[in-house]
Amino acid sequence: MNIPVSVGLIVLALTIAGIVYKAVRDRAMLAVLMGAGIRREEICMLSLEHFRKVKGTWTLADLIGKGNKARTIPIGEWCAVLLQLRRMSSAQVRL
């Protein structure tokens, strides 16, 4: 039995997904700002590829900062959890 799906329901679902996606993104950005103490310019250049586990500690690796210097910044476990959640939510939005 084919049940027609309302276009309105699809739009509503995509809108909710977008709101949730942005909320997760915003929380992850705030966690990085507070947990790692990085500068505004650094968070603008940050990507999920910078987020790595090095020697058992979650870090933001090879982040280019002030004076074009690369640095690796350890982050707290709570910050890592929010970044993992962000990574999972971005993968779901791309599907």
* Residue-by-residue DSSP string for 5-57: PPHHHHHHHHHHHHHHHHHHHHHHHHHHHHHH---HHHHHH--GGGEEEETTE
In whole angstroms, give the CA distance from residue 5 to residue 2: 9
DSSP state of 4: P
Instruction: Kindly state the tokens that stand for 4.
Output: 């027609």
Along the 95 residues of the chain, how does pLDDT read in single tens digits?
444 455 555 555 555 566 676 777 788 888 888 888 888 888 888 887 888 888 888 888 888 878 888 888 888 887 888 777 777 766 655 44
pTM of the model: 0.60
Q: Which residues contact 92 (CB under 8 A, 6 or more apart)?
A: 17
Instruction: Kindly state the tokens that stand for 28.
Output: 């992850």
